[in-house]
């Protein structure tokens, strides 16, 4: 998979639910996500590592979740290379 797959499951009013499939992907070194909405994300399969701008690192395994407040700059340091990583994200 050359790029992550983003699939919108539902989008209504101010809420978007999406499935993300990663396969060893990470955020480019010079890029930070800075979103206009809060995000709840749970890892359904695989592993991932998030890095926040304040240098906080969060290691996620299946079933782990995190709430990312809007405008909290963050990036994905890496995802599983052995198996696809499946995320469920709710933007609200």
- Structural domains in the chain? 5-91 (2.60.120.10)
**For 16-31, what is each residue's pLDDT tens digit?**
999 999 999 999 999 9
Structure confidence by residue, pLDDT tens digits, 25-71: 999 999 999 999 999 999 999 999 999 999 999 999 999 999 999 99
Q: How far apart are CA 9 and CA 90, in angstroms?
A: 10
Place of tokens 């994200």: 89
pTM over 0.85: yes
- List, edge to edge, every strand of the sheet that includes 15-22: 5-12, 15-22, 85-91, 39-45, 65-68
The tokens of 42 are what?
């749970």
Residue 33 is classified by DSSP as B
Using CA atoms, how far apart are residues 30 and 75, in angstroms rounded to an integer?
A: 10
Can you tell me the distance from the alpha carbon of 15 to that of 50, in angstroms, rounded to the nearest whole number? 23
């Amino acid at each position: 998979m050359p790029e992550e797959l983003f699939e919108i499951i539902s989008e209504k009013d101010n809420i978007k639910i999406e499935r993300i499939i990663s396969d060893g992907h990470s955020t480019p070194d010079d890029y930070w996500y800075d979103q206009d909405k809060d995000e709840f994300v749970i890892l359904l399969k695989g592993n991932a590592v998030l890095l926040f701008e304040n240098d906080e690192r969060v290691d996620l395994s299946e079933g782990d979740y995190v709430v990312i407040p809007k405008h909290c700059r963050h990036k994905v340091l890496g995802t599983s290379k052995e198996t696809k990583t499946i995320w469920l994200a709710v933007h609200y």
